Structure 1
């Protein structure tokens, strides 16, 4: 049996997503190893990370990024667009004692976020968005969408 933590699949029926206004699609069941990683995180961070996970799956379903593979990378929950290879890996973890969404530091995603939406989401270095109390859910949805389609965008820029 997977370790217990905040319910990562429960959702309010037909609650709109900030990014599109469409009803939520319930994320899949959490793999046992990923659930154990979430359960090991501070209890106050678990609901924040559960909400970010739901949003990530919702954005993936609406963006054309394809299905997400959910696994562990560096012992942290990680999300990959393995079928389409359209995006960079996203991880949900703790940074500076704060829940965070992390991307590869070699991407330009954090720099683009800071340039297009300065101060809207708190960042940590070149790889993290800190999910502090009251973070902008719509801005996080945009960030997730860009991460999930990051390689597709790079391929298009190279072709032109």
Structure 2
């Protein structure tokens, strides 16, 4: 597992219930792996935005990806994208049966199900290179 650069981000992950923490840590690792294997992304910056773990390439070639689990929806976790991008609309077209969607801002994943790794990685890469492909 990639070490946390900021103790506040690690504290956020530590505060999640065990099942949510495991899924979100797996998603975090996939974000870092995808960034490393995607041309144009460069080094990732990890922070908290709106109290949620957030990731963006330091070169700003893409748009921020956030993730979170919320007690009001305890069976799911989500990956969030800037609502004024076309990303979620594109994901809805590409992967209509792989995810639930929340408006034009989020992919919803079930804690009980293994996420579709390849589809999630494509979504991550698209977000982290969004400004390169506009």
TM superposition score normalised by structure 2:
0.89
1:143 is aligned, of 101, 123, 126, to: 123
Alignment partner of 1:42 is 2:17: yes
Greater mean alpha carbon deviation, residues 90-99 or residues 31-40: 90-99
Tell whether the 8 Å contact from 1:48 to 1:131 is kept in structure 2 after alignment.
Answer: no
In the alignment, is residue 76 of structure 1 matched against residue 52 of structure 2? yes
Shift of 1:107: 1.0
RMSD: 1.2
Residues 118-144 of structure 1, C-alpha deviations (whole Å, 9 max, x = no match): 112222221111121122111000000
User: Partner of 2:65 in structure 1?
Assistant: 90
Q: Which residue of 1 aligns with 2:77?
A: 99
| Paired position in structure 2 for 1:53 | 28
> Which of 1 and 2 has greater Rg?
1
Instruction: Tell me if the contact between 1:121 and 1:139 (Cα under 8 Å) persists in the aligned partners.
Output: no
Instruction: Please give the TM-score of this superposition, normalised by the length of structure 1.
Output: 0.75
Paired positions, count: 127
8 Å Cα contact 1:49-1:92 kept in structure 2: yes
Aligned partners of 1:88 and 1:81: how far apart in 2? 8
Compute the displacement of 1:52 (Å): 0.4
Rounded to whole Å, the distance in 2 between the matches of 1:118 and 1:151 is 24
Give the structure, 1 or 2, with the largest relative contact order (CA under 8 Å, sep 6 or more): 2
**Which consecutive aligned stretches of 4+ in structure 1 deviate over 6 angstroms post-superposition?**
none
More strand by share: 2
Partner Cα separation in structure 2 for residue 42 and residue 130 of structure 1: 17
Consecutive unaligned residues in structure 2, runs of 5 or more: none
Q: Secondary structure at the match of 1:45?
A: helix
Aligned residue for 2:8? 33
The corresponding residue for 1:118 is 96
Write the deviation string for residues 43-90 of structure 1: whole angstroms up to 9, x where unpaired.
2200000110110000000102111000110111110112x2111000
